Amino acid sequence: MSEQQPQASAAGQWVSYRPEIKVLDCTIRDGGLMNDHRFSDETVRGVYDACVQAGVDYMEIGYINSREQFPPGQFGPWKHSQEHDIRRIVGDNDSPLKLSAMADAEKSDYREDILPCSESVLDMIRVATYIHQIPLALDMIKDAHDKGYETSLNLMALSTVPERELNEALHLVARSEVEVICIVDSFGALYGEQIDDYMDKFSSYALAAGKEVGMHAHNNRQLAFANTIQATIRGANRLDASMAGLGRGAGNCPMELLLSFLHNPKFRLRPVLQCVQHHIEPMREQLKWGFDYPYLITGVLNQHPRSGIAFNESRHRGDIIRFYDSLEHEE
């Protein structure tokens, strides 16, 4: 019987690394969905410092969503990420770390609220869109691009998009100004073989157009890290992660797992662990993100985790069977 050689993957050999890979921290942006974006300045600065020290490439500091739709009194500063708030944390950001903010289609007054890049400490705008909002999202991408930003289009709830619509969307996105097209498994519903399939499809459109593919995973089925490295192996060069996996519901790909996996010597694990210990874990008792049975169930059903989040905020938290039966009876 012949011995097989370890196969070279698109990610390179097992001991080496792919220098094109860039990591984006979305702790404050995605985590803000668990506390209406009310983080203390100390926490945001803790994440910022950790990203700089750990060699993370981008930090997404929050949303730039509408102050009319989401009145500042009802939300913390990272729902709107105004320039003076960002600069209170990062000054002029005299570091190699790039800063990003996310604008949601139909929730952002992007023309007015996103400054020209030359007047902002932000480097990148990421536009989050559902499939039916693609034309609007492309206008938002053009606006940000014309203002001088790097741009990314993040296609949410991918696991529910019919294939014909996805093909049409990718065709349009490939012809746009955007630099990155990001797979978003909003419901944490996908597993490895499906990631391979989506990566092949996204790459077939993106690479020919000179764009990168990104991966933003959720942990409903404890697959956020696994799916992120699967996408990496299949060619994704833009990877989202968050400190201790902080993020909506089951949370995200944990930064500490991702950096411990990547071999680029520019990355450092210790500052991430420090941030997790001193800034993130102390919030767990209150914010309660992370894998839990209700999120497993919504993930398997390919549903938004909102029913699981509501259940976990109710007095029934822990009554797994009650939640399971409630969704089964709905069907």
Q: How many residues in the shown chain lie near a second copy by CB under 8 A?
A: 51
Tell me the angle at which helices 293-300 and 320-330 cross, rounded to the nearest 10 degrees. Answer: 20
At closest approach, how far in Å is the CB of 237 from a second copy? Answer: 17
For position 319 contacting a second copy by CB under 8 A, the verdict is yes
At closest approach, how far in Å is the CB of 191 from a second copy? Answer: 6
- Among positions 283-312, residues that touch a second copy (CB under 8 A) are 293, 296-297, 300
Among residues 159, 158, 291, the alpha carbon closest in space to that of 221 is found at 291
Contact 26, 258 (CB under 8 A): no
For position 197 contacting a second copy by CB under 8 A, the verdict is yes
For position 200 contacting a second copy by CB under 8 A, the verdict is yes
For position 330 contacting a second copy by CB under 8 A, the verdict is no
> For the chain, what is the HEC assignment?
CCCCCCCCECCECCCCCCCCCEEEECHHHHHHHHCCCCCCHHHHHHHHHHHHHHCCCEEEEEECCCCCCCCHHHCCHHHCCCHHHHHHHHCCCCCCCEEEEEEECCCCCHHHHCCCHHHCCCCEEEEEECHHHHHHHHHHHHHHHHCCCEEEEEECCHHHCCHHHHHHHHHHHHCCCCCEEEEECCCCCCCHHHHHHHHHHHHHHHHHHCCEEEEECECCCCCHHHHHHHHHHCCCCEEEEEHHHCCCCCCECEHHHHHHHCCCCCCCCHHHHHHHHHHHHHHHHHHCCCCCHHHHHHHHCCCCCHHHHHHHHCCCCCCHHHHHHHHHHHC
- Among positions 3-32, residues that touch a second copy (CB under 8 A) are 3-4, 6-7, 9, 14
For position 256 contacting a second copy by CB under 8 A, the verdict is yes
For position 320 contacting a second copy by CB under 8 A, the verdict is yes
For position 143 contacting a second copy by CB under 8 A, the verdict is no
Binding segment for a second copy (CB under 8 A), chosen from 60-68, 70-78, 199-207, 308-316, is: 199-207
At closest approach, how far in Å is the CB of 282 from a second copy? Answer: 10
Out of 22, 67, 142, 201, the residue judged to bind a second copy by CB under 8 A? 201
At closest approach, how far in Å is the CB of 222 from a second copy? Answer: 5
Could you tell me the sign of the dihedral formed by the alpha carbons of 309, 311, 317, 323, in that order?
A: negative
At closest approach, how far in Å is the CB of 8 from a second copy? Answer: 10
At closest approach, how far in Å is the CB of 115 from a second copy? Answer: 38
For position 172 contacting a second copy by CB under 8 A, the verdict is no
At closest approach, how far in Å is the CB of 27 from a second copy? Answer: 16
- Which of residues 65 and 230 has its CB atom nearest to a second copy in the complex? 230
At closest approach, how far in Å is the CB of 9 from a second copy? Answer: 6
Name the residues that contact a second copy, by CB under 8 A: 1, 3-4, 6-7, 9, 14, 167, 191-194, 196-197, 200-201, 204-205, 208, 219, 221-227, 229-230, 233, 254, 256-257, 260-261, 269-270, 273-274, 276-277, 281, 293, 296-297, 300, 318-321, 324
